[in-house]
Structure 1
Amino acid sequence: MLAQNVTITADLSLEQPEVLVGLLLAHILADFYFQPYAWLQERNERHALALPLYLHTLLHGILAAGAMLLLTQNVNGWTLGVSAIVIAVSHFKIDVIKSYCAQSTKAFIADQFAHILILVAVFLYATNQWEVAIHLFKKLSVEHLAVILAYLAVLKPSSIIIKQLLSPWSSEVLATRPSPKHPNDPPTISTEAQQTLSLAGQRIGYLERTLMLTFVLLNQFSAIGFLIAAKSIFRFGDLTKHQDRKLTEYVLLGTFTSVALTMAVGLACGAVLGSIPVK
């Protein structure tokens, strides 16, 4: 083994983190820099029969073994071989499964999460630190859970709350959208475009509230002001073009509702962490 009889210390810190960093670096290089787009296309078309997929997984195994050799002094040949084989074989199976899935963000995140989970498991096996990892997991405190809960709360739950709070005015704003000045002019916003903009707006809201919560937890309230100002500048042109006071009020109401919810969640989380910036 790379590390025999690892002692669980008081601070429960993992040893040899450079090995894990090296495995992650090898993964990024092999998956994103050393994999031509043509390989991806053939994998998605031929799945497990694609020759480039075998070359790709072999490259992952070689780079992972190289990283472990370079970043450790006393490496056990058996451990090195098992680690490289597990990484290569698991990568092959995960990529085959992904080749049958739609090329979406969810599929990409699930794919990368599975690969990283395997790399962490290989790292714990190679350094013999399973017991330390289990103890670290058990050391999760209420502070850690509060931060996780806060970030989850400002995503979908907040979106639903904002949508429900704005529902009395939503139909009114949509009903008064400007109509084309000439019969031959295309509609201002088609049904398909409305759906696309709705999804884009949802993602923007997620990012906006995630950034604001991060700034609150870091006590960087001035950055929140900069974020709101930047959003206002980008929205100014759209609102001016439509010259719709109801739409302007609707957007402002949604923005300030989002800010208020995120601030409330952030301050509540700060109270749990014992770092409320407001005395």
Structure 2
Amino acid sequence: MEQIAALLVSAHIIGDFALQPKFMAENKQKPVVLLLHAAIHATLAWALCLCWTCWIIPVSIFIAHGVIDLLKQRNGMKPSTSFIIDQIAHIIFLLLLAGVLSQLLSLPVLPDLYYKGVVLSAGLAAATRGSGFLVGLVTREILDNNNLKPDGLIDGGQLIGLLERGLIFLFMLIGQPMAIGFLVTAKSILRFEEAKQQPFAEYILIGTLLSFALAIALSALAIRVASPGT
């Protein structure tokens, strides 16, 4: 069950954070876009699990993913809270599906290299893009609530965060987590002037700590799941 669960969740992460363009994320209230998004998830999960005769995978994921995303649009919660609940709902469904599949079917044994490649690819997407969505939502809410308007390049902070989380994933993957300390130091030096103003200092600190914490946790989890015997 563990392997199929990991592949289903990995497919979800890749579909949501690596294969979902901005226009699709912003237009899922349109039925055609929502159905296309659900179809991508269903097809990706079916393909990655290498269980070609198991139609329950694409059919159930197509329906469940579409319904969950539809409910997300109507819950009226803060964007950050809605994002977290939405992801939890998707993962719970996929874990339940994995349990059903393990009871009903004889699932194929997948090559170790293939399994690790899929899980680590999903881990990279989660640590960089996935956590970036949440960090962006949280920091945007902070800016709006406090009427803060930071200067800088358009999407510059988003790109910096993406790169720093990518480096964190790399450091964790090669077994050098201590190198993350150099990232913290470098970022502190580069943001020194902004940090002199208390509102921006707190905003930067919250965003940085959340970004680093999510990247470290998701990277460690992906590496652990990719190598369950170690």
- TM-score, length of structure 2 as denominator length: 0.47
Bigger-Rg structure (1/2): 1
- Higher relative contact order (Cα pairs below 8 Å, separated by 6+ residues): 2
